[in-house]
Amino acid sequence: PGSIMLGIRPEYIHPHPDGELDGIVAVDEYFGAYRNIHVDTRIGRLVMRDQAQHRHEVGQSLKLKLDGAHIRLFDVNTGDHCS
């Protein structure tokens, strides 16, 4: 078996006090109606979407919850979706 890559859209990643994944804020991008927050985790950098008024400081610790119904796995070598 080859390596796999996790795929999830930013709107399905949320900060949550009981989140299963710890991370550190690397970038907070303000886009007017929302923010994209880049978070470094043990599985790599993830981008979550948050409300515009929820500013996150670079270096801030976060616990993240990923909506499992929206996680997709891909073969790193081919880009094919793994079942």
Taking the C-alpha atoms of residue 8 and residue 68, their distance in angstroms, rounded to an integer, is 9
Taking the C-alpha atoms of residue 60 and residue 26, their distance in angstroms, rounded to an integer, is 8
Model's pTM, two decimal places?
Answer: 0.87
Tens digits of residue pLDDT in 25-79: 999 999 999 999 999 999 999 999 999 999 999 999 999 999 999 999 999 988 8
Taking the C-alpha atoms of residue 49 and residue 32, their distance in angstroms, rounded to an integer, is 12
Closest CA to 48 of 13, 5, 6: 13
